[in-house]
Amino acid sequence: MAEVTATMIKDLRERTGAGMADCKKALVECDGDMEKSIDFLRAKGLAKAAKKAGREATEGAVVSYIHGGGRIGVLVEINCETDFVARNEDFVGFTKDVAMQIAAMGPQFVRREEVAEDVVARERAVLVAKAVESGKPEAIAQKMVEGQLSKWLKDICLLDQPFVKNPDKTIEQLQQELIAKIGENIKIRRFARFELGEGLEKKKDDFATEVAKAAGMA
């Protein structure tokens, strides 16, 4: 059985808002697996962040981020439940971080549910064709492609992306931690990203580094 440390308990509490004892119990029951522990708490109705997910969030803010002297521009709408929280320092910081994330990583969607089935089907067909072309039997190619497809979805969906300031967390995890801390539902509703001369862009990794440097993180 995996050792359950104080750090693990603290991390789980930050992500769910559940009590320390409940977090420890969940980690013990799930052999230290963080994601399974979160699901365990949700199933028991102990994850505060999960309880708030269905609540209306119609306040919030539309924030902008401009990078490179006007070369990259982002607008993003992030909702909360009250205008009081919209002025909260942690909420404001989160909106700025999300806008920077969009500028750096160029996601196409907020969440996976927004990706149309025909778009996924087209990408799957391309990946299968590539695998078959490389000499793999189609049955094996089909199995290989699922992992590649999952990685592709993580690349294009904002909530699945690793946070540029801390790649150990996804944007969704960052959002859940904020929900647990503030006590209100928080939703990233929509965004728009503009790039001057789009199509002549730098490699994503290079630009992510550049944005991190501008933020003083590299």
Counting beta carbons within 10 angstroms of the beta carbon of residue 51, is it exposed (0 to 12), middle (13 to 18) or buried (19 or more)? middle
Model pLDDT, residue 50? 60
With cut-offs at 50, 70 and 90, classify the pLDDT of residue 141.
Answer: confident
Check pLDDT > 90 for residue 41: no
Model pLDDT, residue 105? 95
With cut-offs at 50, 70 and 90, classify the pLDDT of residue 139.
Answer: confident
Check pLDDT > 90 for residue 95: yes
Tokens of 29: 């029951």
187-195 β-sheet, strand order: 59-67, 72-80, 187-195
Check pLDDT > 80 for residue 75: yes
Model pLDDT, residue 101? 97
Check pLDDT > 90 for residue 155: yes
Q: How many Å apart are CA 111 and CA 190, to the nearest integer? A: 10
| Amino acid (1-letter code) at residue 31 | D
pLDDT in tens, 102-115: 999 999 999 988 99
SS (H, E, C) 7-56: HHHHHHHHHHCCCHHHHHHHHHHCCCCHHHHHHHHHHCCCCHHHHHCCCC
Share of the chain above pLDDT 70, in %: 85
Averaged pLDDT, 133-142: 76
Check pLDDT > 80 for residue 195: yes
Counting beta carbons within 10 angstroms of the beta carbon of residue 200, is it exposed (0 to 12), middle (13 to 18) or buried (19 or more)? exposed
Lowest model confidence (mean pLDDT) among 48-52, 61-65, 108-112: 48-52
Counting beta carbons within 10 angstroms of the beta carbon of residue 39, is it exposed (0 to 12), middle (13 to 18) or buried (19 or more)? middle
Q: Give 172's DSSP letter.
A: H
With cut-offs at 50, 70 and 90, classify the pLDDT of residue 217.
Answer: low
Domains belonging to the chain, first-starting first, are 6-52 (1.10.8.10), 59-111+157-214 (3.30.479.20), 116-155 (1.10.286)
Tokens of 21: 């004892």
With cut-offs at 50, 70 and 90, classify the pLDDT of residue 42.
Answer: confident
Model pLDDT, residue 63? 96
Average pLDDT, the chain: 84
SS (H, E, C) 89-158: HHHHHHHHHHHHHHHHHCCCECCHHHCCHHHHHHHHHHHHHHHHHCCCCHHHHHHHHHHHHHHHHHHHEH
Of 128, 153, 124, nearest in space to 139 by CA? 128
Model pLDDT, residue 22? 83
- For residues 52 and 9, the model is more confident at 9
Lowest model confidence (mean pLDDT) among 13-22, 109-118, 175-184, 195-204: 195-204
